[in-house]
Amino acid sequence: FGGYFDLETVLVYTTTGYFEAGGQQYVLSPEEYGKWAFLRTNAELLDDAKDRGLLQSFALAKMRERPAWLDPSLLGPDGRAVWDLLANQDPARVPGLIAALSPAMRETLLALSPRHTIGDLRARLYLAHSVTDNFIPYSESVRLAEAAGSAERVRIEILTVYRHVDVEALPLWELLRRDGLPLFRLVYRVVGER
């Protein structure tokens, strides 16, 4: 539910709002929380304790929607590389900014990107993703489904009323009208696995 194929692509979206789907380019407003959650969890990979502390404290404050400010000149080279990536607004710069991250952080991004292993998957894969997801673009689940293999093993449902994993505040009848059939198909197939 709300999966991804490549963390680099997710970081492009998280930092710039840019993504591609069906041969078209889009720019949306991603949820800022995703950027700060990434910073908080990945700052622990930095060797410099000062950088770790500054970035995690800043990220935690932002996640709690509290006022926060950080002078990037206080950061060491690895901390500054993370800051530069998250402050970036240009999608074309993201690959170079990722290349400037610490080796531990780059290795983690690589290890957490299904793009490198999804071709080996032999199980059935059920995916659901909403076009209104403001954390991860729905195109990531589409790419994941395409890379995972045959239509016999992979099922994907594109929804319209979810914000990542939370449903919009809609009356039940509206939820069912808009996404009832795709949700039913998904649940029916998953329950059918038993």
**CB contact at 8 A, 43 and 56:** yes
Residue partners of 151: CB distance under 8 A and separation at least 6:
none
Residue identified by tokens 């329950």 is: 191
Q: To which H or E segment does residue 157 belong?
A: strand 154-159
Q: What is the pLDDT of residue 87?
A: 94
What percent of the chain is predicted at pLDDT more than 70? 91
Q: What is the pLDDT of residue 185?
A: 83
pLDDT (tens digit, 9 = 90+) per residue, 98-147?
999 999 999 999 999 999 889 888 888 999 898 888 889 999 999 999 99
Strand (E) positions, 1-77?
Answer: 18-21, 24-27
The whole-number average pLDDT for the span 8-24 is: 92
Q: What is the pLDDT of residue 170?
A: 64
